[in-house]
Structure 1
């Protein structure tokens, strides 16, 4: 599966309903901040606000911005990634791998020269001067959380344009690098809301950048990107501040349970320590993740094989953090597997 979360194709293959699939392939919080009842009074007849004013205000309240920093919303973080690369049109693009394949695909369409740096090897390797660097923190698919100051200093010293994707940072107790935009206006921060707030069907991501950069970026954007329903739901979710700490504590506890289940199975030679809502594991003896996926499919469990992440192969499998019941079911299924 090229991207996690395609439960529809998986269910069709199994001959079951999508809601009967236990999806460990997509890193989506199993909890939601608000109930769908909050949409009952949303007016759908008029056009949505093309400036997204109420949503942007909710985002600014949830994610305070330094002076001179502005925000633009997109139909998910994938749309934000494409928009920013299309706007920047970089000649040299540095990708810190392992990384989603989408970045390389977009770069290929734009004609960029790609430079891959293996984070597992040397994260501080030299980068070309005046290049554009993309860094995901916490990283995916391993969930490692990086201290960013040294990297930011290195990139600035070589006059790089910097894109930091913080789609999973809400699960961690660490400040955003957005505060550095005030001092370096070639820094762009991408955030997703669907992962933390458990609403993959609500497609909202956003970019934080210097005001003049946002002004230039939105010249390429359509007038209406988000629906009234999407925005109303997200405003309610952002307002639930108690959800933040509760989710962090819950995720840490469940991540530990997941790690214990993977370790106890004896199927993995390495479980990567992660700080997000997923864990990456490597099968013993370079095992085949697709064979594991097939064995788990009989129990309607879907996991993510990570061979389409640059630098990884089919022995690497990623597991999303789910609730206690789902983790217990996974643990039971893993115990029945013997290579």
Structure 2
């Protein structure tokens, strides 16, 4: 585990999985973006469509805010609705007066990008592959007054114990925990959303991943009322659209929570199938970071850039890993998909690892 100060050089912090799919317009099977496949479900599309008749009025977020608060057993003063979790990172970077922000990497790069854009010098704590990308709380500098960590972490798929993260809390420190993928963890074990006993805690949630709403932009922050008030003052007027508010209400309703719970168990089973399939390539240098707990896995592959290119030729997109601080060109992130898709992908991966003269021939 190490630390470094950085201006972001050497890593494209604005590169995201959608670029892997959209680069050349090819029709690719998407294993690069961490949005659950076959979403949003029909009932959610109907809820969103039903809100369109109210578009002439300005958005009113009170009902959605109350619904999110009830979902986590919190007063509404501890909830802020945002245009996706990414907006919350921008608000935190702009609204909070911090002197020594620290981001625990490898993780989602937008928190650091937002801090840098707001003029902050960011210190990185780099978790190591040889430690399984696991957090040692002592690695975070004591003087840090803002600490950002993901749980489960994108792209490593590591689920840190809640109490390990709580040990990072200090008086005078803001502890930001990105739980964008926590609803893909069965039982949401290790979640901190809803906790009010951790000083300086800010928990961010996204509704775009599990429900396939990346194009709608809806998420929220949970924090002490004074922090929520600061973030709200930094928001523009009406930041969350009426359709997104309708989606928020629907996605925290009991029916949706039950469906998400079932989906988490399906994801876990499909992930186990993917990991088992990847293990068959161990003799060819393929290594999965385990235990994986998110809807994606991080994989080390010799000549990963070449493998990615050959996979594209075979119709599959995976996420490059070298844009994440702490990872090099030998890493890729692979989204969990259904077993049929995974089986076809594994066949393509076998061809990409040891390409014949005509790669498509091996798939006939």
- For the criterion TM > 0.5, the same-fold answer is yes
Q: Structure 1, residues 164-192: CA drift from partner, whole Å, max 9, x if none?
A: 111111112315324443452x2211111
Task: Give the direction of change, closer, same or farther, for the CA distance of 1:329–1:10 in structure 2 (3 Å limit).
Answer: farther
Q: Structure 1, residues 101-145: CA drift from partner, whole Å, max 9, x if none?
A: 322222222232322212335622141325211111111211111
Aligned position for 1:247: 263
Please give the secondary structure, in 1, of the residue aligned with 2:93.
helix
Are positions 1:332 and 2:347 aligned together?
A: yes
- C-alpha distance in structure 2 between counterparts of 1:96 and 1:106, whole Å: 14
- C-alpha distance in structure 1 between counterparts of 2:68 and 2:38, whole Å: 20
Are positions 1:128 and 2:142 aligned together?
A: yes
1:276 to 289, 294, 299: 294
Q: TM-score of the superposition, structure 1-length normalised?
A: 0.88
Q: After TM superposition, list the pairs within 5 Å mapping 1:182-197 onto structure 2.
A: 182-184=197-199, 186-197=200-211
Are 2:156 and 2:297, in contact at CA under 8 Å, matched by a contact in 1? yes
Aligned position for 1:205: 219
Runs (5+) with no aligned partner, structure 2: 1-11, 355-364
Runs (5+) with no aligned partner, structure 1: 15-19
Aligned position for 2:272: 256
Task: Give the direction of change, closer, same or farther, for the CA distance of 1:44–1:88 in structure 2 (3 Å limit).
Answer: same
- C-alpha distance in structure 2 between counterparts of 1:31 and 1:163, whole Å: 30
Q: Structure 1, residues 205-263: CA drift from partner, whole Å, max 9, x if none?
A: 11001112212221121111122222223322332232122111100010011112222
Are 1:138 and 1:169, in contact at CA under 8 Å, matched by a contact in 2? yes
1:27 to 28, 34, 48: 34
- C-alpha distance in structure 2 between counterparts of 1:126 and 1:228, whole Å: 40
Aligned position for 1:63: 72
Are 2:100 and 2:122, in contact at CA under 8 Å, matched by a contact in 1? yes
Shift of 1:279: 0.3
Are 2:108 and 2:150, in contact at CA under 8 Å, matched by a contact in 1? no
Are 1:265 and 1:331, in contact at CA under 8 Å, matched by a contact in 2? no
Are 2:72 and 2:194, in contact at CA under 8 Å, matched by a contact in 1? no
Once superposed, what is the RMSD of the aligned Cα atoms? 2.2
- C-alpha distance in structure 1 between counterparts of 2:18 and 2:103, whole Å: 24
How many pairs are equivalent? 326
Aligned position for 2:315: 300
Q: TM-score of the superposition, structure 2-length normalised?
A: 0.82
Are 2:21 and 2:28, in contact at CA under 8 Å, matched by a contact in 1? no
2:237 to 223, 236, 239: 223
Shift of 1:288: 2.6
2:166 to 140, 149, 152: 152
